[in-house]
């Protein structure tokens, strides 16, 4: 039988990228190959994100554009997976009857059956039920060759008042370390050099499984897998970022000296209203302690401007925190009210104009900091993992440093997947230009 074609449109975070790779893996067993072109696909999967209103709008406008295609090829199936699926459930197929399947974040394994059922019964099928455990080995077809994501915990037990994730990904469920280690060993055997352990809050790893190791202990075990040269992880909640974890990072050669530690705001009043569970001073103390252990640690963060009730004074505290930490990079967001979250019904919502003004101020500030931080790299020799040809300039290779900076340099394609020394010639705002330094292999 001829193989069928699957197109995946992916939105959202690392969790969704990982789930997309699982969807490709699962559907490969059902005789589907991945295609770039939705127009000749037999199945189109939208893997969706609900984090901000705009993310959700993108999904519906994409579905709107698929209507014409579905009219032309009624046999093409359309599935909506991910966080919008989990949140809106049957609301999606009611609003968009072209959708054949709505499949929640805990039900990816069921996608092939749901598609079959929708085909046989000629109606839309919705499954957003919740699975209490996380112990399936993943069927997964990775879309990257040398650096992979491995999920270690799903869901989130925090209740940040702005955030929809607890409603779309459910409670925390750790994956048994036996399965994680097996997956990492398999990756190393297949030539992968780097692994990023992912979860909404990796620091809570193991708490829900009796007798399971803690996150620092898991990290040590993963870092010890032979052949795995680099280990990263996202995301760490600052309140759960422990001394033991800092010491583990400092001790290990394999654990990258790069840390994503989302602060959200520099104002204690706002942090309290967000229910983040730390003060700005406590956050800064952890950053200082980490830097005392590893001076070169590259920090990145997430920030929200215009959270309900944020005054100019609150905002100035965020500015002061950003100036003090000097992040290597950050992700900046304008607060977006999400249905059923406490912050959405707080009375003192901030105007769009204020949000934009504060967004622009922080953006400018960070650009200056980033130029300064990046300039320190010029002239240094850095070990980079070569990913492949650069998308912007085919004559160059693209690669990453342990601190997660992108370095482009002229080199032979045979270097793909290798760790090589590169001299940083010019540091830009978002990427570096390098020159291959002499090396032995």
Query: Quick one: which of 262, 256, 267 has its CA closest to 232?
Result: 256
Residue 155 site contact among ligand SAH, ligand F3S, ligand SF4, none (CB < 5 to 8 Å, cut-off depends on kind): none
Smallest distance, Å, CB 13 to ligand SF4? 9
Among residues 163, 219, 225, 407, which is the contact residue for ligand SF4, using CB under 6 A? Answer: 163
Q: Does 168 bind ligand F3S (CB under 6 A)?
A: yes
Residue 302 site contact among ligand SF4, ligand F3S, ligand SAH, none (CB < 5 to 8 Å, cut-off depends on kind): ligand SAH
Rounded to whole angstroms, how far apart are CA atoms 45 and 77?
A: 8
Q: Does 389 bind ligand SF4 (CB under 6 A)?
A: no
Rounded to whole angstroms, how far apart are CA atoms 24 and 13?
A: 17
Residue 204 site contact among ligand F3S, ligand SAH, ligand SF4, none (CB < 5 to 8 Å, cut-off depends on kind): none
Q: Does 166 bind ligand SF4 (CB under 6 A)?
A: yes
Q: Does 261 bind ligand F3S (CB under 6 A)?
A: no
Residue numbers 194-213 binding ligand SF4 by CB under 6 A: 200-201
Number of residues in contact with ligand SAH under rule CB under 6 A: 17
Rounded to whole angstroms, how far apart are CA atoms 218 and 135?
A: 16
User: Are residues 388 and 397 in contact, defined by beta-carbon separation less than 8 angstroms?
Assistant: yes
Q: Does 158 bind ligand SF4 (CB under 6 A)?
A: yes
- The residues, any chain, with a CB within 8 Å of residue 187's CB and separated by 6 or more, are 148, 150, 195, 228
Rounded to whole angstroms, how far apart are CA atoms 51 and 350?
A: 18
User: Are residues 37 and 90 in contact, defined by beta-carbon separation less than 8 angstroms?
Assistant: no
The enclosing H or E element of 303 equals strand 298-305
Among residues 152, 165, 228, 427, which is the contact residue for ligand SF4, using CB under 6 A? Answer: 165
Q: Which is nearer to ligand SAH, 283 or 333 (CB)?
A: 333
Q: Does 418 bind ligand SF4 (CB under 6 A)?
A: no
SS3 for 180? Answer: helix
Q: Does 149 bind ligand SAH (CB under 6 A)?
A: no
Query: Between the CA atoms of 103, 107, 110 and 111, what dihedral angle is there, to the nearest 10 degrees?
Result: 30
Residue 312 zone, left/alpha/beta (φ > 0; ψ -120 to 50; rest): alpha
Length of the chain: 441
Among residues 22, 142, 232, 237, which is the contact residue for ligand SF4, using CB under 6 A? Answer: 237
- How many other CB atoms sit within 10 Å of the CB of residue 210? 6
User: Are residues 155 and 173 in contact, defined by beta-carbon separation less than 8 angstroms?
Assistant: yes
User: Are residues 303 and 121 in contact, defined by beta-carbon separation less than 8 angstroms?
Assistant: no
Composition of the chain by helix, strand, coil, percent to 5: 40, 25, 40
Smallest distance, Å, CB 396 to ligand SF4? 36
Q: Does 50 bind ligand F3S (CB under 6 A)?
A: yes
Residue 166 site contact among ligand SAH, ligand SF4, ligand F3S, none (CB < 5 to 8 Å, cut-off depends on kind): ligand SF4
Residue numbers 161-190 binding ligand SAH by CB under 6 A: 162-163, 165
Residue 388 zone, left/alpha/beta (φ > 0; ψ -120 to 50; rest): left
Q: Does 231 bind ligand F3S (CB under 6 A)?
A: no
User: Are residues 288 and 169 in contact, defined by beta-carbon separation less than 8 angstroms?
Assistant: no
User: Which of 158-166, 221-229, 352-360, 412-420 is the region at the interface with ligand SF4 (rule: CB under 6 A)?
Assistant: 158-166
Return the residue nearest ligand F3S (CB atom): 12
Residues that bind ligand SAH (CB under 6 A): 51-52, 162-163, 165, 200-201, 235, 237, 262, 264, 302, 304, 333, 335-336, 338
In the complex, which residues of this chain contact ligand F3S (CB under 6 A)? 12-13, 15-16, 49-51, 82-83, 164-165, 168-169
What is the contact surface with ligand SF4 in residues (CB under 6 A)?
156, 158, 160, 163, 165-166, 200-201, 237
């Amino acid at each position: 039988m001829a193989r069928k074609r699957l197109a995946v449109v992916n939105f959202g975070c690392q969790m969704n990228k990982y789930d997309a790779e699982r969807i490709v893996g699962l559907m490969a067993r059902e005789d589907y190959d991945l295609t770039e072109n939705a127009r000749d696909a037999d199945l189109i999967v939208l893997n969706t994100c609900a984090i901000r209103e705009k993310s959700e709008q993108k999904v519906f406008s994409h579905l709107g554009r698929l209507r014409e295609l579905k009219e032309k090829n009624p046999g093409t199936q359309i599935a909506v997976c991910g966080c919008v699926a989990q949140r809106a459930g049957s609301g999606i197929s009611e609003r968009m009857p072209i959708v054949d399947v709505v499949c929640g974040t805990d039900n990816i394994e069921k996608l092939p059956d749901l598609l079959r059922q929708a085909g046989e019964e000629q109606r839309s099928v919705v499954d957003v039920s919740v699975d209490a455990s996380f112990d399936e080995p993943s069927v997964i077809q990775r879309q990257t060759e040398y650096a992979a994501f491995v999920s270690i915990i799903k869901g989130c037990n925090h209740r940040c008042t702005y955030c929809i994730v607890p409603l779309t990904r459910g409670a925390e469920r750790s994956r048994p370390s036996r399965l994680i280690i097996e997956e990492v060993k398999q990756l190393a055997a297949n030539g992968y050099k780097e692994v990023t352990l992912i979860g909404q809050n990796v620091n809570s790893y193991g708490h829900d499984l009796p007798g399971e190791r803690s996150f620092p202990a898991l990290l040590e075990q993963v870092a010890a897998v032979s052949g795995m040269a680099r280990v990263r992880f996202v995301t760490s909640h600052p309140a759960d970022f422990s001394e033991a974890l800092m010491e583990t990072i400092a001790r290990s050669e394999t654990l990258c000296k790069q840390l994503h530690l989302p602060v959200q705001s520099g104002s204690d009043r706002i942090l309290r209203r967000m229910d983040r569970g730390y003060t700005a001073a406590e956050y800064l103390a952890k950053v200082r302690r980490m830097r005392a252990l590893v001076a070169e640690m590259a920090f990145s963060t997430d920030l929200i401007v215009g959270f309900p009730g944020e005054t100019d004074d609150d905002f100035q505290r965020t500015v002061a925190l950003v100036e003090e930490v000097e992040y290597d990079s950050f992700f900046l967001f304008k607060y977006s009210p999400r249905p059923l979250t406490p912050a959405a019904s707080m009375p003192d919502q901030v105007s769009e104009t204020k949000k934009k003004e504060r967004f622009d101020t922080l953006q400018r500030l960070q650009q200056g900091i980033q130029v300064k931080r990046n300039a320190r790299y010029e002239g240094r020799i850095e070990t980079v993992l070569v990913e492949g040809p650069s998308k912007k300039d085919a004559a160059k290779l693209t690669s990453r440093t342990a601190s997660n900076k992108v370095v482009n340099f002229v080199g032979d394609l045979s270097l793909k997947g290798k760790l090589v020394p590169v001299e940083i010639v010019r540091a830009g705002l978002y990427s570096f230009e390098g020159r291959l330094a002499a090396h032995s292999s």
